[in-house]
A = this chain, B = another copy of it.
Amino acid sequence: MKKEFKVTPYEATGEIDYSKLIKEFGVSELNDKLLERIKKHTKELHLFLRRKVFFAHRDMNWLLDEYEKGNKFFLYTGRASSKGSKVHLGHLIPWIMCKWLQDKFQAEMWFQFPDEEKFLYKPDVTLEDTEKATYEDMLDIIALGFNPDKTHFLIDTKHANLMYKEACKVAKKITFSTVKASFGFNDSNNIGSIFYTSMQAVPAFLPSVLKGRNIPCLIPLGVDQDPHFRISRDVMPKLGYYKPAILHNVFLPPLQGIGGKMAASAEETAIFTTDSPKQVEEKIKKHAFSGGQATIELQRKKGGNPDIDVSYQYLRMFFEPDDKKLKKIYQDYKSGKMLTSELKEILIEKINKFLAEHQKRRELAKKQVDKFIFKG
């Protein structure tokens, strides 16, 4: 039997049963029919879609109906920076999805940096901490190749002239009972943390406010953020806006195994975008949970289990876009033809190639930050 698991914006623990989560959260499965419908517009499907790294959604059919009527959508996602927090591979998944969707649908992208969120939730985090981390995080996002003419960064404390007023409109429709139930809050929560979900709702309709017409919104995000949008999806029609559509991704597992999610707080078992080739190699070799056998002989004889092997899963979920190559790796590893060390070598090479390019672009991004910050 699977262990208990818990997924909220503030906690993701245990071995997550995503089918159960679909029922619990009341979201819809991202099924093949819907993927085909997306493919009609995009010609190809990103591996995150083909391989169900994005596994669930809300209102994608409605979004495509609108798109097909000529009512284009914009994209919204976000990043809550914390004290010294660094971006890891797991963070990149929704962002890479956004970049791909931006290209395929020529969509405007609104990126929120709620620099007050972690400050409000964590006693030892200051606003100076989150400000510093926000800048670093922007570099990672820019490095992914977003179109600067169509991408707008919103920083909660710096764009509050635009956002606070709209957040008040949202807040007026949400009682403390609701946030208690959604986030497990109680009377000892601080009043900033209680208000915060209203700020997270704002970018989902701010472009509609600015343009003076109702524009559909699509939010690709980690499924743990869904509770915020369960609330804001209730509120937005009351303010005269569409409910945002949502695409939910599963978590990239931490190196040590398939449960939970990669976490920046567990330095050893997360791969950061700023890691050196040496660090990546060491982390994979030392920590990546293996589905292989204890000895080379046993591996050759019995074969490994790619389904629980973290290195294989990273290839499947992120680093091997070629379906045929991936299939061959799967078969070779399962049959014992491929050893764990060989599988890890493939992954190390792939990650380091990705990071070398990413780090180069991340460096160049330092000159581009200003272009991305929304001038309201």
Contact = CB atoms under 8 A, between A and B. Distances in A.
B158 A175 contact: no
Interface centre among A157, A185, A189, by most chain B C-beta atoms within 10 angstroms, is A157
Interface residues of A, number: 39
Contacts of A194: 176, 191, 194-195
Contacts of A193: 171-172
Interface in A181-240: 185-195, 197-198
A360 to B, nearest CB: 34
B175 A188 contact: yes
A179 interface: yes
A119 interface: yes
B163 A191 contact: no
Interface centre among A120, A173, A174, A191, by most chain B C-beta atoms within 10 angstroms, is A191
Contact of A190 (B158, B159, B171): B171
Query: Closest 9 CB pairs between A and B?
Result: A171-B192, A195-B195, A160-B164, A160-B160, A157-B165, A177-B187, A161-B161, A116-B168, A176-B187
Nearest to A177: B187
Given A127-B168, A165-B127, A191 B174 contact: yes
B189 A168 contact: no
A132 interface: no
A1 to B, nearest CB: 36
Nearest to A171: B192
B187 A120 contact: no
A156 interface: yes
6 contacts: A116-B168, A120-B168, A127-B168, A160-B164, A172-B190, A176-B189
Contacts of A302: none
Q: This chain: how many copies in the complex?
A: 2
Contact of A168 (B157, B171, B172): B157
A39 interface: no
A187 B193 CA distance: 15
A186 to B, nearest CB: 8
A188 B171 CA distance: 12
Contacts of A119: 168, 172
A189 B319 CA distance: 48
A37 interface: no
A169 interface: yes
A203 to B, nearest CB: 15
A165 B175 contact: no
Contact of A160 (B165, B171, B175, B192): B165
A197 B191 contact: yes
Contact of A163 (B156, B159, B160, B168): B160
Nearest to A174: B191
A374 B4 CA distance: 54
Nearest to A165: B157
A171 B191 contact: yes
